[in-house]
Amino acid sequence: MTTRRELTEAIGERYRRSDRNEKHQILDEFVALTGYHRKHAIRVLCRESQPPGTKPGPQRRYDDEDRAFSGQRRRAGGVGNAIRRAVPIRTFTDWNDPLPGYLEVDFVEHCGGTKIDGDFVHSFVMTDIATGWTECLAMPLRSGAFVLEHIERIRDALPFPLRGLDCDNDSAFMNAAVFDFCKATSIELTRARVRIRKTIKRGSSRKMERSYVASLDMGG
């Protein structure tokens, strides 16, 4: 434990003094050395070391809160898995020339390049499979609450009925709020298999990406 504590204090001091790019490299090294999850590693490295003899009360309180949060995440994960099992899978070859109103939904993350940890502004993009009609709305962060709000706004703006939504397995889509809303409004909710999502994106999402870029060019 002493060796790990000394390592954490030494790397943590260097991490807190570094700029963003250096922090990313230091974090990679620290995760490789310790096996910590990245978010936990960030919390550990950002924490100031305590002077010798300091009672561990605040640290113990942090650990209790962390365990409670982990329990909440496990319960939420169980709900998410149940919803995924309830949502049918649809591949790109299953569409068979659908009517307008079946939209693929996805995010565009504005993180400035390579994906890193943290919350970033997202564009929430919905593209109609049949017509290519595309709606884009800004989200301050990736959240299921914003997803549901934007689905309702876009549904009211579409020139045709919203008949179905096809998404990936992101928890921002696979949650009780979105699932219950689609069920209550007779919107068909489908998802892709995790292992073939990239293949689907190379097909139908190319249309979505082209439409998204075109909407930016036109100031949409």
Inform me whether the pLDDT recorded for 10 exceeds 50.
yes
Query: What pLDDT, on the 0 to 100 scale, is given for residue 116?
Result: 62
Percent of the chain clearing pLDDT 70 (strictly above)? 68
**CA–CA distance, 193 with 179 (Å, rounded to integer):** 17
Confidence at 118, pLDDT banded by 50, 70, 90: low
**pLDDT of 183-203, one tens digit each?**
999 999 999 876 544 444 444
Residues 22-33, mean pLDDT to the nearest whole number = 81
Q: Is the pTM of this model over 0.75?
A: no
Handedness of CA 91, 163, 173, 219 (dihedral sign): positive
**pLDDT of 31-88, one tens digit each?**
777 777 777 778 888 876 555 555 544 444 445 545 554 555 566 566 668 888 899 9
101: left (phi over 0), alpha (psi -120 to 50) or beta: left
**Contact criterion met (CB below 8 Å) for 165 and 190:** yes
103, β-bridge pairs: 128, 165
Residues 168-185, mean pLDDT to the nearest whole number = 90
Collapse the DSSP code of 139 into the 3-class scheme (helix H, G, I; strand E, B; otherwise coil) and give the result: strand
Query: What count of other Cβ atoms lies within 10 Å of the Cβ of residue 218?
Result: 7
Residue 181, both tokens: 């809303």
Q: Tell me the C-alpha to C-alpha distance, in Å, between residue 86 and each of 75, 78, 81, 99.
A: 17, 13, 9, 24
Q: Can you list the domains of the chain with their CATH numbers?
A: 1-48 (no CATH), 85-217 (3.30.420.10)
Nearest to 86 by CA among 173, 163, 161, 147: 173
**CA–CA distance, 154 with 150 (Å, rounded to integer):** 6
Residue by residue, DSSP assigns 38-88 as HHHHHHHHHSPPPPTT--SHHHHHHHHHHHHHHHHHHHHHHHHHHHHHHSP
